[in-house]
Every structure is written in structure tokens, then in C-alpha cells.
């Protein structure tokens, strides 16, 4: 079996009064994994830990078998997309997309070509010279995604990337993300509240509750997996089960 | 309820009026009497010398101040190191010290054998214009560090993380992300520091004294003119300082306005 792209081994991390406890997770090359959980469950913190922004107090975060925090930030080959996109406000859309290529000291002409190619794929040709503040939410999202993908990262970490988008834009971006996975073979770990999104886009889904990972299951069988109580409650399976039990009891009577 | 609010508003209004009268009357005196005396004062070589010395020393000290303050602020806001709290406390302490105290300590430091060695090496500090620059620098440095730190703290750290993952090393993150993001705040801070340097007197007085046509800045010129009972000359210099300060405040507020091209993002 090939080495996982990302592996979290018994990761524990405290931030203020909140803590992530004993997280075990592995992500294979080309795999899309959705992390589900309530607000405050620790999804963003887990993503930041996976990127190596927050060193764990206990356990290991391995990127291709190496401690992620031991790799200098600029050599990690990880793409990160914040929920609010975090575009550089002082750079145009084209400069944002080409930023990573510029940091790699790629020739100017080559950067221009690659930016245009990415802009074409993400439908951003008309906004390349605009600043992020003048773009719509969907455009900002696509610029951020194009920027993250320009360097063809081995791992893409997405923090609720589709939360603020309309259904049409969402569907377009789901397709784009699948295309990107096929083409670049990058592993994707994304955080979402949306069960349908997790089922439609991910290969596997995990549920995070109170800083603990309740388990990971195939996304297609999200509702039929054997989850522990906190995950069942979050997924609404407890009410469903109660309803079914009541229905069965009525039928028996 | 309404009458209670009216009384409260009335009291606030009276306090504001008193504050305005106190500040306004000072400015009015300088503007009215200073403007009248200015044409004659500008023909005096002492006034022109003081003006040129003030502008020159304030500009040099401000540049030096930012060369030291910006990296210091970066370290204070972006790194963890033992004793950081102590460094921050030291900076705050010097910020609240009377400038005359800083001047005394500078005088002692530069009257020492090391200071004398500097003088022999062709870099005199005590009773020279280099001392004016040093006094302004010492007084303004904690202030500049604080302004730059505030600007850096307000900048979104996530942007630097993203830039890092996009391949930017620490120095490139600083120059391509943090500095451009803070450029308006830093430019505003630069103008404020320059304006403060222009008006610095306490530490300068202690370190270089006030000697006509030698260590005479605009505040020193005011002091010397008042001592010689030349109130008109003093008010003319005060008028010059007021105009320069007003212009720099206007420039600072213009610099701190965000770039409109960036749109609603900032």
C-alpha cells in the first residue's frame, strides 16, 4: 500500500479552553475526504494543524511521512483555502493566481501563460485585472482555488469553501474540484456543514464532535455507517431512529 | 428620563466647550500673533537656521527610527522569544518617561569614554547636531515601534500563512504581503514620528543644549527668543511649527485612508 499523503497520529492540541483529542486520520493520494461537524467542533483547528500552522502538543502530523512542522512553510507543497478565501487585497486576481509561481521565480512570460490557462479553466478571464474587493463571492472563491492549484499541491486543505456560494456556482465548483483531482491527483481534505456536499463530493467522510474524531466512513454510506452516539446525533440519526422505533411500536399496537 | 439625558448632554457639552476653549485659544494666539511676526522672522538668519536644522534632523532621525522600529515591531509581533514581555515593558516604560530623563541618560552615556572615543573618531554627539538626531531618535523609537506593532498586529496573519504555503519564505512574505498591507498605516506613522521629532525639545536640551546657530532647532529658537524677551520671534517660530504639524497631520490622515482600488476587501 502506498504511503498516505497526510497522516495524523493521535494528535492532541489545546487552544484556550478548546482541545482536539487523539485524532487519527489518514488521507491517500487522490482521495477526497470531507470533515463534518458542528460550529466549534474543531474542524478549522484540525485543518490548520494538518497544514502545520499549529504544532500539536502530542502526537504526529505527517506529510508524506515527514513531520509537517519540520518542513519550512514555503516548502510544504500544500494548498490551503480559508473560508473567507484570504486573497491578497493589494494584488489583482491575476497577481493573486500567479503569486506562487512568482515565488518559485518562474519566468514572467511563463507565469502569464499559466495564469491565463488557469483563468480560462475557472472562468476568470474577464476579472484578471480586478482587485479581490471588487469581485463577487464566487469569483473570489475561484481565484483562491486557482491560486492554490497553480503550484499543483500534493494536498489541498479547504475550509468550508462552498459555504457562501449559490447552488449553481457550487455545482460548477464541485465539477472543477473533481476535474482537478483527476488531473493533478492531489488529495483533498475539506470541511463542511453540508451532508449532501460531503456525500456528493467526497470519497470518505469523518465526523468531528467536541474536538474528537468520531470516525470515518465511505461518504456514500454516510447514514448507514455505525457511528458512535455524538456523530449519530449530529447526523440526525438519533431522531430518525426514535421516529422509526415509535412507528414500529404503533404498528405493533 | 429625557431630562436626565439632557442634563448629561449639557454637562458633556460644557466640558467639551472648556476643552475647545483651552486648546483653541492657544492655537489662536499662535496663528494671529505668529502670522503677524512671521515675515520679519523669516528674514532673521537664526529662524532660517532653526527651520533648516529642524527639518534636516527630524528627517534623518525619522528614517533611522523606522529602520530600527519596523524590524523590532516585526519580531515582537511575529515571533516568540524568551523575554519578549520584558522588551515590550521596556519600550512602554521609555514611552512614558519624561523626555528630559532620557536626555540626561543620553548625556551620561555619551560623556563616557566611549562617547569621547566617538568624538575623536569624528562623530561627536554631545553639543552637536548629531546629538539632536540621537535625542529625537531615542524619544521617538518606542513610539514608532508601538505604531508599527499595531499595524502588524492588525494585518491578517492568514494571508502570511497562505503566502508561505505558496512558496514565499519569511523575508518575501514580509516584503510582498505584510509591508504592502501595512503601507498606509506605516506611512501615516512615519509622518507622525517626523512631526514629533520636529517638536522634540526636552532630550535635545539635555544632550546638546541650546546654542544659537549651532544646535538651534525651532523649539530651541522659541526657548532662546523667550529668554531674550523676543516674544514675536518666538511666536513666529511657533507658527512655523504649527503649520508644519498641521500639514503633516493632514498628510498622515490621507496616508491612512485605504487604497480605493482594493474595494471593500479591506
First to last CA, chain A: 54
- Look up the pTM and report it: 0.85
Question: Which of A131, A134, A147 has the most B C-beta neighbours within 10 Å, making it the best mutation to test the interface with B?
Answer: A131
Confidence of residue A245 (pLDDT cuts 50, 70, 90): low
What pLDDT is attached to residue B266? 40
- Quote the ipTM score: 0.86
Identify the weakest region by mean pLDDT among A13-17, A117-121, B19-23. A13-17
What pLDDT is attached to residue A250? 56
CB contact under 8 A, A133 and B159: no
CB contact under 8 A, B261 and A104: no
What pLDDT is attached to residue A80? 94
What pLDDT is attached to residue B32? 92
Percent of chain A with pLDDT over 90: 56
What pLDDT is attached to residue A253? 45
For B170, the closest chain A residue by CA position comes to A74
The closest CB to that of A104, out of B167, B176, B259, belongs to B167
Q: Is the pLDDT of residue A248 over 80?
A: no
Residues making up chain B, counted from first to last: 266
Which residues in chain A touch residue B184, judged by CB atoms under 8 angstroms apart? none
In the predicted model, what is the mean pLDDT of residues A175-197?
87
- Check residues A167 and B220 and name the one with the higher pLDDT: B220
Write down all domains in chain A, each with its CATH number in brackets: 1-77+153-227 (3.40.50.300), 89-152 (no CATH)
What pLDDT is attached to residue B258? 57
Average pLDDT score over chain A:
88
In whole angstroms, give the CA distance from residue B245 to residue B150.
22
Alpha-carbon distance A74 to nearest alpha carbon in chain B (angstroms): 4
Residue range B31-257, CATH number: 1.10.3720.10
CB contact under 8 A, B165 and A79: yes
Burial code (b: 16+ CB inside 10 Å, e: under 16) for B29-49 equals ebbebbeebbeebeebebbeb
Within 8 A by CB and 6+ apart from A205, the residues are: A33, A34, A35, A36, A198, A199, A216, A217, A218, A219, A222
CB contact under 8 A, A88 and B264: no
Could you report the per-residue pLDDT of A25-57, keeping only the tens digit for each?
Answer: 999 999 999 999 888 888 999 999 999 998 999
**Residue from B189, B197, B262, B228 nearest B46 by CA:** B228
DSSP states along A38-88: -TTSSHHHHHHHHHTSS--SEEEEEETTEEGGGS-GGGS-EEEE-TT----
CB contact under 8 A, B265 and A72: no
What pLDDT is attached to residue A239? 60
Residue in the structure block whose three cell numbers are 475550509: A159
Specify the 3-state DSSP secondary structure of B209. coil
Confidence of residue A242 (pLDDT cuts 50, 70, 90): low
Alpha-carbon distance A244 to nearest alpha carbon in chain B (angstroms): 46
Q: Is the pLDDT of residue A193 over 90?
A: no
What does the block give as the cell for A83?
Answer: 473560508
Can you give the residue ranges of every domain in chain B? 31-257
Which residues in chain B touch residue A88, judged by CB atoms under 8 angstroms apart? 159, 163, 177
Which residues in chain A touch residue B80, judged by CB atoms under 8 angstroms apart? none
Residue in the structure block whose three cell numbers are 512568482: A102
What pLDDT is attached to residue A182? 86
Which residues of chain B, if any, have pLDDT below 70? 1, 256-266
Q: Is the pLDDT of residue A103 over 50?
A: yes
Amino acid at each position: 500500500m502506498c504511503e498516505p499523503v497526510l497522516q495524523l497520529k493521535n494528535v492532541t492540541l489545546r487552544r484556550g479552553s478548546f482541545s482536539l483529542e487523539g485524532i487519527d486520520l489518514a488521507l491517500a493520494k487522490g482521495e477526497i475526504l470531507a470533515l463534518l461537524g458542528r460550529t466549534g467542533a474543531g474542524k478549522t483547528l484540525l485543518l490548520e494543524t494538518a497544514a502545520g500552522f499549529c504544532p500539536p502538543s502530542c502526537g504526529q502530523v505527517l506529510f508524506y511521512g515527514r513531520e509537517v512542522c519540520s518542513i519550512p512553510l514555503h516548502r510544504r507543497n500544500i494548498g490551503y483555502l480559508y473560508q473567507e478565501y484570504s486573497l491578497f487585497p493589494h494584488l489583482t486576481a491575476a497577481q493573486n493566481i500567479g503569486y506562487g509561481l512568482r515565488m518559485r521565480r518562474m519566468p514572467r512570460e511563463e507565469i502569464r501563460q499559466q495564469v491565463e490557462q488557469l483563468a480560462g479553466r475557472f472562468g476568470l478571464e474577464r476579472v484578471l485585472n480586478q482587485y479581490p474587493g471588487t469581485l463577487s463571492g464566487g469569483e473570489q472563491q475561484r481565484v483562491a482555488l486557482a491560486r492554490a492549484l497553480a503550484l499543483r499541491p500534493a494536498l489541498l486543505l479547504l475550509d468550508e469553501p462552498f459555504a457562501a456560494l449559490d447552488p449553481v456556482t457550487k455545482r460548477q465548483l464541485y465539477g472543477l474540484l473533481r476535474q482537478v483531482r483527476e488531473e493533478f491527483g492531489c488529495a483533498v481534505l475539506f470541511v463542511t456543514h453540508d451532508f449532501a456536499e460531503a456525500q456528493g463530493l467526497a470519497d470518505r467522510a469523518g465526523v468531528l464532535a467536541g474536538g474528537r474524531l468520531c470516525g470515518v466512513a465511505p461518504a456514500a454510506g454516510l447514514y448507514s455507517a455505525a457511528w458512535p452516539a455524538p456523530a449519530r446525533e449530529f447526523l440526525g440519526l438519533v431522531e430518525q431512529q426514535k421516529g422509526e422505533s415509535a412507528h414500529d411500536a404503533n404498528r405493533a399496537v | 428620563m429625557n431630562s436626565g439625558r439632557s442634563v448629561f448632554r449639557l454637562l458633556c457639552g460644557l466640558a467639551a466647550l472648556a476643552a475647545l476653549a483651552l486648546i483653541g485659544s492657544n492655537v489662536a494666539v499662535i496663528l494671529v500673533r505668529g502670522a503677524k511676526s512671521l515675515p520679519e522672522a523669516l528674514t532673521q538668519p537664526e529662524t532660517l537656521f532653526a527651520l533648516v536644522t529642524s527639518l534636516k534632523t527630524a528627517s534623518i532621525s525619522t528614517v533611522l527610527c523606522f529602520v530600527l522600529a519596523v524590524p523590532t515591531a516585526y519580531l515582537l509581533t511575529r515571533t516568540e522569544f524568551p523575554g519578549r514581555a520584558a522588551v515590550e515593558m521596556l519600550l512602554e516604560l521609555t514611552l512614558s518617561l519624561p523626555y528630559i530623563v532620557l536626555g540626561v541618560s543620553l548625556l551620561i552615556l555619551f560623556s563616557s569614554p566611549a562617547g569621547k572615543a566617538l568624538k575623536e573618531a569624528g562623530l561627536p554627539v554631545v553639543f552637536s547636531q548629531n546629538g539632536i538626531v540621537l535625542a529625537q531618535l531615542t524619544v521617538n523609537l518606542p513610539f514608532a515601534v508601538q505604531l508599527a506593532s499595531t499595524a502588524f498586529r492588525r494585518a491578517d496573519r492568514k494571508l502570511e500563512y497562505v503566502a508561505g504555503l505558496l512558496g514565499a519564505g519569511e523575508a518575501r512574505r514580509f516584503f510582498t504581503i505584510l509591508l504592502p498591507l501595512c503601507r498606509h498605516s506605516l506611512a501615516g506613522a512615519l509622518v507622525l514620528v517626523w512631526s514629533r521629532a520636529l517638536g522634540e525639545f526636552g532630550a535635545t536640551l539635555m544632550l546638546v543644549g541650546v546654542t544659537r546657530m549651532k544646535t538651534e532647532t525651532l523649539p530651541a529658537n522659541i526657548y532662546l527668543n523667550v529668554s531674550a524677551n523676543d516674544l514675536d520671534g518666538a511666536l513666529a517660530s511657533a507658527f512655523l511649527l504649527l503649520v508644519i504639524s498641521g500639514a503633516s497631520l493632514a498628510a498622515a490622515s490621507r496616508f491612512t485612508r485605504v487604497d480605493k482600488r482594493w474595494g471593500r476587501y479591506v
